C-alpha cells in the first residue's frame, strides 16, 4: 500500500515507511526523558505526534526557518549525467581498442 504524506506529485511512500517514521517520532523525539520515559508516557504522547510535527513546521515558518527542515530538494542529476557522458565519450569504455591495457585482470571462468 502506498501513501503520499506530503501531497507532492511522485512522493509516494510505502505505508510501513510512514509507520516507522511515526515510531521514530514517538520513541525518540517525543518519548520523554529520564523519569518521563516510560511505556505509559509513550502511549499518552503517541496520538500527538502529528500535532507536534505540525507545530514544529508552524514555528519554523513563523520565524522564517523553513530551510531547517529535514525535507531535501528533489535531486538534480543534470551535471552528473553530463559529466558521465563526457567521460564515456572521452574514454569509450564500451568499445574494443587494440592495445588498451586494464589495471585489473578478470579471469574468464567460463573457459576453465
Rounded Cα distance, 41 and 48, in Å: 11
Question: What does the block give as the cell for 16?
Answer: 510501513
Q: What angle do CA 108, 109, 112 make, to 5 degrees?
A: 110
**pLDDT single digits (tens) 73-85:** 778 889 989 999 9
- Break the chain into its structural domains and give their ranges: 9-68
Residues above pLDDT 90, as percent of the chain: 7
With cut-offs at 50, 70 and 90, classify the pLDDT of residue 68. low
Out of 6-10, 68-72, 89-93, least confident range: 68-72
> Does the predicted model carry a pTM greater than 0.85?
no
Average pLDDT over all residues of the chain = 78
The predicted model gives 11-17 an average pLDDT of: 81
**pLDDT single digits (tens) 22-66:** 777 777 776 667 776 777 777 777 777 778 778 877 887 777 766
Going by the DSSP 8-state scheme, the letter that residue 75 receives in this structure is: P
Amino acid at each position: 500500500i502506498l501513501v503520499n504524506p506530503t501531497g507532492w506529485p511522485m512522493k509516494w511512500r510505502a505505508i510501513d515507511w510512514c509507520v516507522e517514521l511515526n515510531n521514530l517520532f514517538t520513541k525518540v523525539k517525543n518519548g520523554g526523558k529520564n523519569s518521563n520515559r516510560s511505556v505509559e508516557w509513550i502511549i499518552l504522547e503517541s496520538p500527538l505526534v502529528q500535532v507536534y510535527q505540525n507545530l514544529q513546521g508552524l514555528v519554523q515558518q513563523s520565524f522564517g526557518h523553513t530551510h531547517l527542515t529535514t525535507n531535501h530538494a528533489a535531486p538534480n542529476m543534470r551535471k552528473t549525467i553530463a559529466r558521465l557522458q563526457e567521460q564515456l565519450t572521452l574514454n569509450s569504455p564500451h568499445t574494443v581498442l587494440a592495445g588498451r591495457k586494464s589495471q585489473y585482470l578478470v579471469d574468464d571462468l567460463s573457459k576453465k
